[in-house]
Amino acid sequence: MREASAGGLHVSGLIVFPADAMFSPRKAKMLTSRGTSDIFAFFFTLHGGEGAYGMAAKTGGITQDRISQLANNITVRLRESISDIQSVNDDIHVLSINAKILAAKSGSSGKAFAVVADSVRGMVGRTQGITDSLQTSVEATVSELMEINSYLGTKVRAERLSQVAENLIDVVDRNLYERSCDVRWWATEAAVTAALESPGAETVSRCVGRLALILDSYTVYLDIVVCDLEGKIVANGRPGRFASTGLDVAASEWFSSAVRTSSGNEYGFEGVHRSRLAGGSSALVFSCGVREGGSPDGRLVGVLGIVFNWDGLGAVVVGRAKEMLAAETDRPLHAHIAYRDGTVIASTGSVPEGKIPGSTMESVLSSVRGTIIPADREGGRFIAGYAASRGFETYRTGWYAIIQEEADGERR
């Protein structure tokens, strides 16, 4: 399994498939035939739907807010009842004082009443002590209950964010796996090999036409380029849009990594970058060596590069994740896709210096999937769910999805 490096501009190794590996047009079009939002929704449902948090939110059942409301009701009613008891105590206290005064005026015949009055006053004091103790105890219990409820609610919410993060990165892995299939398939095209084996105006023109036809069907690509072994682009599928023919790309990682491959079952890659092949747009480039006769084991005659529109995938999947989660909360949240070093390559919000803080990434790198819950609720803390790329089939990006939600910010 092959993955992108932390910086995303080179790879740790080259993936090798068995010699009889097949990449059919049907398989290559499996995901490109769907809109990216539909893909995300499909896999989100496939991997467990909304979970307990979403179900509670939808059914209006037992939720964190409802538990807090009930606990608060207990406190309010307790205070009202204690206030009533204290009012009754005050009345009894006044009666006992009056009885004491009357007993004093009655002389020796009122001594018995004085004893009763003293006893009543004593009972009033005991009752007051009991109500004070009860109020202190119940309020402390309710306060602890609300703290536990808040923690559990936060934990459930963070788990929900983690679930969506896992689905998000899975959609990316599955989608980009198809790109690795596409590039190896198209590198065997007769028109491509002919333009490199027998360069000339006719073969190049036929190659450009074939690439243009492919691009008409596969709209996720910005362009497809064909290079000779010196790194010079000899043809591209959208010459009217991108003037790439004639450019020297020998220093590009996608070109050099394809040249290093030993067969047509391997491929090269360059991570998210502003590509001159796409007019400066954010792109990924997958590449594969073009071999003599289109055979996977033939002599290397050039390189094919497919320029994938990263914004068309990255921005859409993080936006879709945020959209689904925002419907469940009033708190601000953002979804990100990042390299191992924290460099953000897709996000629904601005990230300082374009990187996830190191302290957050330490937690993210500690497990394949997990949550981050603040130790306290002071000063701009957030909860988060994250997931690492698990890969699909023989492909893995090695990237991370991180979804952060304010835990103590102002509600929108």
Candidate from 59-73, 81-95, 352-366 with smallest mean pLDDT? 59-73
β partners of residue 283? 273, 309
pLDDT tens string 92-133: 767 777 766 776 777 766 666 666 667 776 776 777 777 778
* 196 and 265 inside one domain: yes
The pLDDT, as a whole number, for residue 355 is 94
Place of tokens 């009754």: 88
Candidate from 96-105, 230-239, 261-270, 271-280 with smallest mean pLDDT? 96-105
In a domain, 146, yes or no: yes
* 141 and 202 inside one domain: no
The pLDDT, as a whole number, for residue 27 is 39
Place of tokens 């980009």: 176
* 204 and 258 inside one domain: yes
pLDDT tens string 271-284: 999 999 999 999 99
Could you tell me the two tokens for 96? Answer: 């006992």
* 285 and 195 inside one domain: yes
* 138 and 231 inside one domain: no
* 114 and 193 inside one domain: no
Decide if pLDDT at 237 tops 90: yes
In a domain, 36, yes or no: no
The pLDDT, as a whole number, for residue 408 is 58
Give the residue-averaged pLDDT of 345-351. 94
* 196 and 268 inside one domain: yes
In a domain, 368, yes or no: no
What are the angstrom distances between the C-alpha of 229 and each of 38, 248, 250? 40, 11, 8
Candidate from 60-69, 74-83, 138-147 with smallest mean pLDDT? 60-69
Could you tell me the two tokens for 75? Answer: 């406190």
245 neighbors 239 (Cβ within 8 angstroms)? yes
CATH number of the domain where residue 123 is located: 1.10.287.950
* 197 and 146 inside one domain: no
pLDDT tens string 391-411: 998 889 999 999 999 875 443
Separation of alpha carbons 284 and 222, rounded Å: 10
How many Cα atoms within 13 Å fall on the side-chain side of residue 326?
A: 12
Give the residue-averaged pLDDT of 257-270. 96
SS (H, E, C) the chain: CECECCCCCCECCCCCCCCCCCCCHHHHCCCCCCCHHHHHHHHHHHCCCCHHHHHHHHHCCCCHHHHHHHHHHHHHHHHHHHHHHHHHHHHHHHHHHHHHHHHHHCHHHHHHHHHHHHHHHHHHHHHHHHHHHHHHHHHHHHHHHHHHHHHHHHHHHHHHHHHHHHHHHHHHHHHHHHHHHHHHHHCCCHHHHHHHHCCCHHHHHHHHHHHHHHHHHCCCEEEEEEECCCCEEEEECCCCCCCCCCCECCCCHHHHHHHCCCCCCCCEEEEEEECHHHCCCEEEEEEEEEEHHHCCCCCEEEEEEEEEECHHHHHHHHHHHHHHHHCCCCCCEEEEEECCCCEEEEECCCCHHHECCHHHHHHHCCCCEEEECCCCCCCCCEEEEEEECCCECCECCCCEEEEEEECCCCCC
The pLDDT, as a whole number, for residue 6 is 33
Domain residue limits at 125: 64-150
In a domain, 121, yes or no: yes
Last residue of one domain, picked from the residues 274, 294, 309: 309
Separation of alpha carbons 408 and 410, rounded Å: 7
In a domain, 137, yes or no: yes
Give the residue-averaged pLDDT of 218-238. 97
* 201 and 301 inside one domain: yes
* 127 and 205 inside one domain: no
* 144 and 196 inside one domain: no
pTM, two decimals, is 0.69
